[in-house]
Structure 1
């Protein structure tokens, strides 16, 4: 070879190419002066074959197409670089023309015309041919850029010449091979789109682009002239575009799913009752899992005071009625300002206001907690707000409520039971003193019976009083405590006085130390006619106080007769009195019930309730991203 002749180095990037590499290298023989192979640690015979055919092999971990090619280019010793893929070969015509131009080679770059083989057929149309590629260029004048369908970038605009003859590309070996490539390239292109901030649109990226690519490949680029395989290529091109959209959508979903969850806890009630206690438990437990809760509460309410005292971020409004538009608009504003992930609704009034907010642009997913076992209204408004598409889940605190709500839903699957929970740890510290006996000067010979429910109609304290009357008439040494406040307080006091029970029934008013008072009782008596779940029963379980109860709402889900308590039908004062007497006279049954009840309450903890709620939040957020 004359000393003035230009030296050409071939560069090939490989990874498990034992089926292609021999054909590729053989086509280079006599054209190039050295062959540099950059192998990404192939596990087949690629390296062995290359070295046998005289190639210089360098091995390294995969870093990307452009990086690999640029590093390999630096290792060449030639004046020109001929870049070729392992699944390509020079056709006889192209070899012949390269041999002719080699002695006088002087252009900056040379273009090859590539033809692609699809499952054994050379494709002449479908936008696949002619495919012009710069594959021969002066070393040092260009670098490879891009990770998908990488291209050469020149330092100055190059002089170019097309070399006659085809570069044969064995592109797709089988349909399975094509599908594999589609999955790979759609993943890489979606990642590139994501990095460039492309926002996926179902109409544009999911429908229009895939449809247009089929039309372009098969009609405009005359893929129909390639026959059946032209049709398959067009369909696959359309599918690749669709898959690219799906993968881009998934990337955005994953990012959104990893964002911190922020929940607006919506409560419209003025006073502190069981529902407010459940919200307080939930906020505390969610915080432990890095989920921020922002309360939206009634101005001047007990819950507002709780938020102030415990450092919980909150907003307030009047919550005047179920169509309070000022509160509705403020909720919409808060949801936008806080970029809330979810709005969790905790009352009927809040439910109405939240769904009305959807008429004013509220788009945050809604979750409803239902804690009462009243029948749903048959009104059109009730049907609308329970079946509103933005209500993603309805969490009922008992199976009894779930069974009431589900028949009214067009999608019953969005309704599920998440039992209320209690703070068991509050009841673990036992005091040696009996606060009730000390405060009201009651001797140890008396049996203390009590209830800690609000003095409301559905709690049926009249039956409670009737039951105490029957026990007193039997000369049982009982003293009863009605612990709490409510609208029926005056009426109940008059009723107890009329029954001659003023000395035997004590109204304590509201107490905030229930965990200290409950263990003072000998028997917990709950006489409700309606009850969402009845968490006061769970408090009694945790206090190791035996329970006598009624078959109301969710109570039977906790109180199993003669296992975790004694239970009768509502308004059955005779049956309730008999159960109380049975507990007084049977220490063994009393002990069994206390032990079983305490085991049961461990499954009704506030931690369990919060965990189940948190899983629902994540499910709704994931669903909302679809």
Structure 2
């Protein structure tokens, strides 16, 4: 099957990670796969190309760009896709406008809840594009329910397919890796490491975790917080850390190519997001046998199952975050129980292979319509 994925770019992020892993798995399954990027290819493009996936940039400029639309149309004509799979609203609008007139399956996946990001014009264009689309996919039930409720995806076209990851890339956490991480950071071994992974932006709300950590340190003075990821709020976070007097306890490591190794050095994963879809970072933490404290947004509660693989707190509640993280740091046996459950669940439910099989079945259903 000839497949083209359409994305904004392949910079480092959860959506982009999922697309590269899905395209790589599809290529390995014998399909002919390409990724068309509206803008620049991005940091993850070489990884996709090394797996045999073609990456084709359309060179989009700011604002509506007919030249980029024409470039995308020319690429579709040469590739002759049987399925065009776009990711999020803007790539979908361009993909549908550029898709060939002959029969081609059209799938769109929206990777979050997106309630704040969609302008009225964007919603109107997305609804128009959906009239020429076979299926609209959400990554969790909460997201699909919202899209249907808002009239963005017709109920008969809506589907849920959970994100998947390469589970085999991740090592179970253990105390030796934790002590090695603390030593690399210039600290004595032995104290607990709390960690999070994600873009430094308002949606991920790492500032709230920094605020909660002041209270957490009062109960666990040897605990540290490791934040992996880059983004526009880095300078603001550094100021928050300095104002709280946490320079020796909170570490911003920036973007990293070594997330699996770093996760293996955590004792507890925290995802304080204001909004989520079906978090790749949270799936990766589960694959590393990490218990997690998450906010009740998107698919977080589905992944964690409150009390079984971690704990769930309300979004925006610093006091609840402080209390629950502190309680779990004081209960190592309970963390071990939750982490083992998370690892078992990830192997069974969070693999990229399971995700790829679900999408292939949907592609074939689209082709049969």
**Normalising by structure 2, what TM-score?**
0.91
1:282-332 CA-to-partner distances (Å, cap 9, x unmatched) read: 112112321111121233522433344443223222122462211211222
**Residue 336 (structure 2) pairs with residue 336 (structure 1):** no
Residue deviations 1:224-249 (CA, integer Å, cap 9, x gap): xxxxxxxxxxxxxxxxxxxxxxxxxx
Q: Secondary structure at the match of 2:5?
A: strand
1:393 corresponding residue in structure 2? 135
1:381 shift after superposition: 5.2
Displacement of 1:437 after TM fit?
Answer: 1.7
Q: Give the equivalent residue in structure 1 for 2:105.
A: 365
1:283 — aligned with what?
A: 23
From 337, 357, 363, the equivalent of 1:617 is 363
CA RMSD across the alignment: 2.1
Q: Please say if 1:416 is aligned against 2:156.
A: no
Structure 2 stretches lacking a partner, 5+ long: none
Q: Which residue of 2 is the match for residue 91 of structure 1?
A: none
Tell whether 2:170 aligns with 1:427. yes
Distance of 1:558 and 1:307 partners within structure 2: 27
Shift of 1:444: 2.4
User: Which has the higher Rg, Structure 1 or Structure 2?
Assistant: 1
User: How is 1:100-111 mapped onto 2 (pairs within 5 angstroms)?
Assistant: none
Q: CA deviation at 1:576?
A: 1.3
Q: Is the 8 A contact 1:322 1:349 kept in 2?
A: no
CA deviations on 1:59-86 (whole Å, 9 max, x unpaired) are: xxxxxxxxxxxxxxxxxxxxxxxxxxxx
CA distance in 2: counterparts of 1:340 and 1:523, whole angstroms? 43
Q: Using the alignment, how far apart are the partners of 1:537 and 1:481 within structure 2?
A: 15
Check whether the contact 2:289–2:340 (CA below 8 A) recurs between aligned residues: yes
Distance 1:322 1:306, change over 3 A: farther
State the secondary structure of the residue aligned to 1:391.
Answer: coil
Cα drift, residue 510 of structure 1: 1.0
Q: CA deviation at 1:584?
A: 2.0
Paired with 2:281 and 2:194, the residues of 1 have a C-alpha distance of: 14
Give the structure-1-normalised TM-score. Answer: 0.55
1:315 aligns with 2:60: no
Which residue of structure 2 aligns with residue 207 of structure 1?
none
CA contact (8 A) 2:291 2:338 kept: yes
Distance 1:306 1:318 in 2: 20
- Unaligned residue ranges in structure 1 (runs of 5+): 1-260
Q: Does 2:13 match 1:273?
A: yes
Higher relative contact order (CA 8 A, sep 6+): 2
Give the distance between the partners of 2:48 and 2:29, measured in 1 at CA: 19
Aligned to 2:346: 601
Q: 3-state DSSP class of the match of 2:238? A: helix
Corresponding residue of 2:225: 480
Distance 2:221 2:153 in 1: 53
Q: 1:539 to 1:588 in 2, by over 3 A?
A: same
Q: Please show how residues 92-491 of structure 1 align to structure 2 within 5 Å.
A: 261-269=1-9, 271-297=11-37, 298-321=39-62, 323-357=64-98, 361=101, 364-375=104-115, 377=118, 379=120, 382-387=123-128, 388-407=130-149, 408-409=151-152, 411-428=154-171, 432-434=176-178, 435-491=180-236
CA–CA distance in structure 1, aligned partners of residues 294 and 183 of structure 2: 27
CA contact (8 A) 2:58 2:69 kept: no
Partner of 1:495: 240
Structure 1 residue 334, shift from structure 2 partner: 1.8
Cα 1:295/1:519, change in 2 over 3 Å:
same
How far is 1:482 from its partner? 0.9
**Contact 2:93–2:125 (CA<8 Å) still a contact in 1?**
no
